[in-house]
Amino acid sequence: MRVGVVTFPGSLDDSSALRAIRLAGGSAVPLFHSSDDLQEVDAVVLPGGFSYGDYLRCGAISRFAPIMRSIIVAAEHGFPVLGICNGFQILCESHLLPGALTRNEGLHFICRDQAVIVENVKTLWTRGYNQGDRIVIPIKNGEGSYQANPETLRELESEGRIVLRYADGNPNGSQNNIAGISNKRGNVVGVMPHPEQAIETLTGPSSDGLIFFSSILQELVGR
Amino acid sequence: MAIIVVDVMLKPEILDPQGQAVASALPRLGFTFAQSVRQGKRFEITVTGEPTAEQLAQVEEAAEKLLSNPVIETYLVRVEA
């Protein structure tokens, strides 16, 4: 199963995401922002980092990259996409996910291991978890405060589309303690914490994040 | 040559921690006039000659699609005299 990872100018966690896919047993395919060719991958990860230096707004410029044109069209037809941190910001700017990520309350860049609760295990990326699992994965961002209008929040809550919620207090002012959401269909997921940085205890706080990658691979094998 | 200005501001209901930080720095300099501060962005777009109605319509479209994020921000387009 081929899972692609897009490198934008300023991406940081692309090689970590590629490694996570390999560790989960998949074939990791590097993709580049300037081509619209998805190279027949079965799913794609938009990694963390500071694409285009976060100029204008985080993810605002990346949204118009040639590769994003292909990803947006494919995602609307059920193609699996996971956005991590900057990737989540890009998905919001692309309107594949509702809402926006804004400057952290308190203005601090926060880099720490974070406990989160997995609330939606129906998405293509979280099927390997059990509902209510408490997992520890790192957060590292300056603009991770999830904001949406009350109507959108009600919709996300009532449709069970909150994928991850912060546990033990809200680190950044995100509404409803939201750390990750999905689209209606469950093929597009955006998360602020970094599952690709928690895939083995040698380099991360846990191996809890690996299940994001094994979930999608299992899903693809079963098709 | 004229300058088309686009002012982009966070919507009132969106938390603006940068504005809050500025507001709390002002009294430290002895400035006590501010009840609150909101921080935004200003774009200056230079065009040759007087801006046409078509150019202004295009700037509106660019402001909606790129310069602002309508989920969290509002914008205002005007021509600087």
A196 in active site: yes
ipTM for this prediction:
0.86
pLDDT, residue A185, reads: 96
pLDDT, residue A222, reads: 81
Nearest-angstrom CA–CA distance, A176 and A93: 20
A56/B67 Cβ within 8 A:
yes
Q: Which residues of A touch B72 (CB under 8 A)?
A: 100, 102, 147
Q: Which two tokens stand for residue A96?
A: 């594949």
A103/B14 Cβ within 8 A:
no
B18/A102 Cβ within 8 A:
no
Q: Which residues of B touch A155 (CB under 8 A)?
A: none
CATH architecture label of B2-80: 2-Layer Sandwich (3.30)
A194 in active site: yes
A200 in active site: no
B69/A145 Cβ within 8 A:
no
Nearest-angstrom CA–CA distance, A203 and A192: 19
pLDDT along chain A (223 residues), means of 10: 97 98 97 97 97 94 96 97 98 97 94 97 97 98 96 97 97 97 97 98 95 94 81
Secondary element (H or E) of residue B20: helix B17-25
Secondary element (H or E) of residue B9: strand B2-10
pLDDT, residue B19, reads: 95
How many CB pairs below 8 Å do chains A and B form together? 36
Nearest-angstrom CA–CA distance, A132 and A117: 6
What superfamily does domain A2-221 belong to in CATH? Class I glutamine amidotransferase (GATase) domain (3.40.50.880)
Q: Does pLDDT of B81 surpass 80?
A: no
pLDDT, residue B21, reads: 93
Domain ranges of chain B: 2-80
Interface of B with A (CB under 8 A): 10, 14-18, 21, 66-67, 69, 71-72
The whole-model pTM stands at 0.94
Q: Does A57 touch chain B (CB under 8 A)?
A: yes
Chain B residue with the nearest C-alpha to that of A173: B15
CA separation, residue A8 to residues A29, A47, A65, A87 (Å) = 14, 9, 8, 10
Q: CB-CB: which of B14, B17, B66 is closest to A104?
A: B17
pLDDT digits (tens, 9 = 90+) for B7-65: 999 999 899 999 999 999 999 999 999 999 999 999 999 999 999 999 999 999 999 99
pLDDT, residue A221, reads: 86
